[in-house]
Amino acid sequence: MLDIKELKKLDIGKVVVSPLMKEYTTYKIGGKADAMVSPKDTDSLIVLLKYLKEKQIAYKIIGNGSNLIFSDEGFDGVIIKLDAFDTLKIDKNVVTVGAGYNLMRLSLKMSRSGFSGLEFASGIPGSVGGAVFMNAGAYKSDMGYVVKSAKVLTPDYTVKTFTNKELDFHYRTSFLKQNPEYICLEATIPLFYGDKNEIMELINERKVRRITSQPLEYPSAGSVFRNPTGLFAGQLIEDLGYKGKKIGGAMVSLKHANFIVNAGDATCKDLEELISSIKKDVKEKYQVELKEEQEFVK
């Protein structure tokens, strides 16, 4: 059982007691966790991990909560946020950035400075670490195309640099996602010199397209399902007449069928039931097994 006083005595960073996870996820869904800790540096993170493992306390590392669905009952354990890992170093065209740095902020900052390569990330509301973890992407590009290497904390508490090949990026997954006991601390991303006006024009065009085609006015977590090979999940779902379908407060977007939105006080249970219904019907109609991009945390 977690002893909050003992946890605070470790003096490793900010501790929030009983955080409501709906306040830390883009879906705005989820009950209370026991505590949330934001370690101030790598040494503090190691102290925290050793403490939690010694006490056999569950933990979950999150970024911006843009791909997570927490249980309505909450999380029996400690949430770890790497907000303090937000350093940014720019050496000519090479960016070295902390796992807690906001990916959209990084994309816009570098693009406005005339660097090309991160345009695809200008609308992805995650952290750098979370994006590397799940190989976030858009517009036929993803982190696997741009990350040269990542500094990673291993399960034996050593810091190791993983090359792009070792990170084993594939569509919406990576070595880190398959081995979550390894933690991304920092990423190195070489960019290209480009024309600032052309780069920003492309980003602005895509922003307008997102506003018209995605339900940005509602809490959501982006695309619910991965696109099956050679197909579009949203098209399959739309063809089954799911646009606008609701279970409780969870609704399939009227703008884009691969988005489920929190249309008002949605619960984790609402989302689970709607996602299960979609998967079942797509499987029966098209013999296609849809795979979620999002993760349920219980």
Tens of pLDDT, residue by residue over 49-61, are: 999 999 999 999 9
Is residue 67 domain-shared with residue 40, that is, in the same domain? Answer: yes
Is 210 an active-site residue?
no
Query: With 0-12 CB in 10 A as exposed, 13-18 as middle and 19+ as buried, what is 243?
Result: middle
The tokens for 93 are: 């065209």
State the pLDDT at residue 59. Answer: 97
End-of-domain residue from the set 34, 54, 81: 81
The whole-angstrom separation of Cα 177 and Cα 134 is 6
Is residue 18 domain-shared with residue 62, that is, in the same domain? Answer: yes
Query: With 0-12 CB in 10 A as exposed, 13-18 as middle and 19+ as buried, what is 62?
Result: buried
Is residue 92 domain-shared with residue 151, that is, in the same domain? Answer: yes
Q: Which residue type does 19 have?
A: P
Residue 211 lies in a domain: no
Count of residues for the chain?
298
End-of-domain residue from the set 31, 51, 81: 81
State the pLDDT at residue 234. Answer: 97
* Mean pLDDT, range 158-175, rounded to an integer: 97
Residue 212 lies in a domain: no
Q: Supply the CATH number for residue 145's domain.
A: 3.30.465.10
Residue 207 lies in a domain: no
State the pLDDT at residue 36. Answer: 98
What pTM, to 2 d.p., does this model score? Answer: 0.94
Half-sphere exposure (Cβ direction) of 12: Cα atoms closer than 13 Å: 25
Residue 210 lies in a domain: no
The whole-angstrom separation of Cα 8 and Cα 16 is 10
Q: How many domains is the chain built from?
A: 3
Note down the domain range covering 168: 88-196
Q: Supply the CATH number for residue 72's domain.
A: 3.30.43.10
pLDDT in tens, 221-266: 999 999 999 999 999 999 999 999 999 999 999 999 999 999 999 9
State the pLDDT at residue 298. Answer: 87
- At residue 1, does pLDDT exceed 90? no
Residue 289 lies in a domain: yes
Is residue 186 domain-shared with residue 254, that is, in the same domain? Answer: no
* Percent of the chain predicted with pLDDT > 70: 100
Q: Which one is catalytic: 122, 223, 253, 292?
A: 223
Q: Which one is catalytic: 38, 111, 149, 172?
A: 172
Is 293 an active-site residue?
yes
Residue 155 lies in a domain: yes
Q: Which one is catalytic: 119, 186, 292, 293?
A: 293
Is 223 an active-site residue?
yes
The whole-angstrom separation of Cα 188 and Cα 149 is 5
The whole-angstrom separation of Cα 225 and Cα 237 is 10
End-of-domain residue from the set 81, 111, 132: 81
Is residue 191 domain-shared with residue 94, that is, in the same domain? Answer: yes
